[in-house]
Amino acid sequence: MLRIRPALPADYPDFARLFPELTAHHAPPSEARWTAEMVATTLIADEGGAAVGYLYGQPLVDTAYIRHVVVAPHARGRGVGKALLDTAGEGFRARGLTRWCLNVRPDNVAALRLYASVGMAPIFESVFLKFADWADIDALPADPPGVTAGTCAPDEDARAEAELGLIPGTLADARARAARTMRVLRDGVRFVGAGVLDPDVPGITPFAVATPSLAGALLRALRPFRRPDLAHVEVRAEANPPLAAVLEAAGATVGLRTLRYEGAL
Ligand SMILES: CC(C)(COP(=O)(O)OP(=O)(O)OC[C@H]1O[C@@H](n2cnc3c(N)ncnc32)[C@H](O)[C@@H]1OP(=O)(O)O)[C@@H](O)C(=O)NCCC(=O)NCCS
């Protein structure tokens, strides 16, 4: 019998076994990260004591950001994914959240049908761009005069999110996670950039700039916090073809394209 239940720290081996089904280009998050950052907002699809799927989401201020939905290959096509989303949706609604969103590859037919079945629809396309070496970012435009890079105080997060069009709660959520570095760009009064580097991926999400010409300044502000053993870095240009074009012109290679799906809870 299928039971959707909250995850436990001891579910890590099942999480690590199922994670590769996402075909992410990086290793599963460590057990320490699972325990500290993921367990609390993960559901397990349990069939007769065996984990056959999981859903990991991040509740932000009013939006739930679904990060992973995975069903084991042998358990697909019989409602496990739908049951995970339905249960997650109930939980998020009970916390007062009103919207949910996620990123999905446009050719993932099963996932697209699943998300449409819970009322989500596509709103924009994102492109992942990879610099093979951090040194390559020096080909991006020089830092514009009057723009400064630095940190952001917790009580400024909401204003930075609003000025940069980020989902409310994005920066506060990133701040609560270990081993990430956040840097912002300001033009004096306004926030004109914000990025959060996860050095273990290595990637920068969110990566938000008011104009594409600021991409270099934001990347250069985060570069000192890279892992020296990982040469490359990836950023996601969200609904922003001009940013993708500037990064590509500087030598980044276009990787995965994803659709942002969003809907009311
Ligand atoms: C996407 C995934 C989670 C779906 O899980 P699932 O348990 O098979 O989905 P369900 O059985 O609940 O089906 C949900 C809907 O998808 C449809 N569906 C499932 N598999 C399908 C397939 N191979 N082709 C077309 N539609 C499919 C079902 O018909 C159903 O739609 P309906 O309600 O309109 O009938 C699963 O295929 C998976 O884990 N894939 C690999 C990881 C992945 O891609 N995750 C999503 C990342 S965004």
Q: What is the DSSP string of 106-118?
A: TT-HHHHHHHHHT
Q: φ, ψ for residue 228 (rounded to 5)?
A: -60, -25
Question: Is 119 a member of any domain?
Answer: no
In a shared domain, residues 227 and 150: yes
Task: Say how far apart CA 259 and CA 238 lie, in whole Å.
Answer: 9
Measured in whole angstroms, the distance separating CA 112 from the mean position of its chain's CA atoms is 18
Residues 141 and 85 reside in one and the same domain: no
pLDDT of residue 35: 97
- Kindly state whether residue 55 falls inside one of the protein's structural domains: yes
User: Residues with Cβ within 6 A of ligand 1?
Assistant: 21-22, 69-71, 76-82, 104, 108-111, 113-114, 117
Task: Check residue 239 and give its pLDDT.
Answer: 94
Q: Going residue by residue through the chain, which has 265 residues, state the pLDDT in tens, using 9 for 90 and above.
A: 999 999 999 999 999 999 999 998 788 999 999 999 999 999 999 999 999 999 999 999 999 999 999 999 999 999 999 999 999 999 999 999 999 999 999 999 999 999 999 999 999 999 999 999 999 999 999 999 999 999 999 999 999 999 999 999 999 999 989 889 999 999 999 999 999 999 998 999 999 999 999 999 999 999 999 999 999 999 999 999 999 999 999 999 999 999 999 999 9
pLDDT of amino acid 25: 77
Residue nearest to atom 33 of ligand 1 (CA): 117
Contact, 127 vs 244, CB < 8 A?
yes
Of all protein residues, whose CA lies closest to atom 10 belonging to ligand 1? 79
With a CB cutoff of 8 Å and minimum separation 6, the contacts of 138 are 216, 220
Structure tokens at 44: 């397990």
Domain match, 88 and 161 both:
no
Please state at what angle helix 109-117 crosses helix 80-94, rounded to 10 degrees: 40
Q: How far apart are the CA of 82 and the centre of ligand 1, in A?
A: 8
Q: Distance between CA atoms of 122 and 102, rounded to whole angstroms? A: 10
Write down the pLDDT at residue 24. Answer: 85
**158 and 80 in one domain?**
no
**256 CA to middle of ligand 1, Å?**
20
What pLDDT is stored for residue 192 in this prediction? 98
Inside any domain, residue 120: no
For ligand 1, atom 22, which residue shows the shortest CA distance? Answer: 110
Residue range of the domain that includes 179? 126-258
What is the 178 CA–ligand 1 centroid distance (Å)?
A: 33
Same domain as 146, residue 25: no
- Give the distance (Å) from ligand 1 centre to CA of residue 128: 24
Residue 263 three-state SS: strand
Calculate Rg over the CA atoms of the chain.
19
Closest CA to 259 of 106, 63, 101: 106
173 within domain boundaries: yes
- What is the number of domains present in the chain? 2
Provide the CATH number for the domain around residue 31.
Answer: 3.40.630.30
Q: Which of 163, 235, 154, 248 is nearest to 196 (CA)?
A: 235
Full-model pTM: 0.94
Are 222 and 181 a contacting pair, CB within 8 Å? yes
**Could you tell me whether strands 2-6 and 121-131 are parallel, antiparallel, or unpaired per DSSP bridges?**
unpaired
- Position in ligand 1 atom list of the atom nearest CA 78: 11
H or E element that contains 172? helix 170-175
The reply to whether 147 and 217 lie within a common domain is yes
Tell me the CA–centroid distance for residue 193 and ligand 1, in Å.
36
